[in-house]
Structure 1
Amino acid sequence: MRRAGLGEGAPPGNYGYANSGYSACEEENDRLTESLRHKVTAIKSLSIEIGHEVKSQNKFLAEMKRREGERERNINVWLPFMRPLQGTGLQPRYVP
């Protein structure tokens, strides 16, 4: 028994199913696949930019930490010289 629309009379590209709408589904899938490809590309670019920003922020924070350590060392070096002035009312002079 032959089904209607199958066999020799079916147009090529529909896998033997005449008027089944398969090519319309295929076109829809192609369109959605392309749309998804663009979205994935955008997300990939965004994640790369985020990675660059994280590296930049980490460098910035490392530099801040290094400077804070330098300031702390400077304070520890100058603090013994400042203690004798503490009760005298004298203020240390800042010389650039």
Structure 2
Amino acid sequence: MASFDFKLFRENLLSHMKAKGLKPAQLSKMAGLNPRAVKDIEEERIKNPRIQTVLALEAAMELPFGKLLGKSIDEIDSELLSLLGELDEATQKQLLMTLQSLSSNRTHSL
């Protein structure tokens, strides 16, 4: 079962920000987020950002999907990606729990 690696996400985020010469407030604004969103991630006040936040940060920095998560995803169904980006936080958590349960059940049945 895959889990969110905050340390890797944060390192990737900070590395790409530095490479592009972006400050936290600038990137937050570019991504359409709360002005402190990136600063809160940088200072580890937020350790589990919503999928919409990750997608918005990648889009603002013109990074491919999954780059900040350390994933090399060449293709993903655009309709699925769009739907994921529209989900509220509670629905995201419910979906994640369901997927984790399915993954866990699959692993135990092998």
* Superposition TM-score tier, normalisation by shorter sequence: under 0.3
Instruction: Output the TM-score relative to the length of structure 2.
Output: 0.22
Higher RCO, 1 or 2 (CA under 8 Å, sep at least 6)?
2
Larger radius of gyration: 1
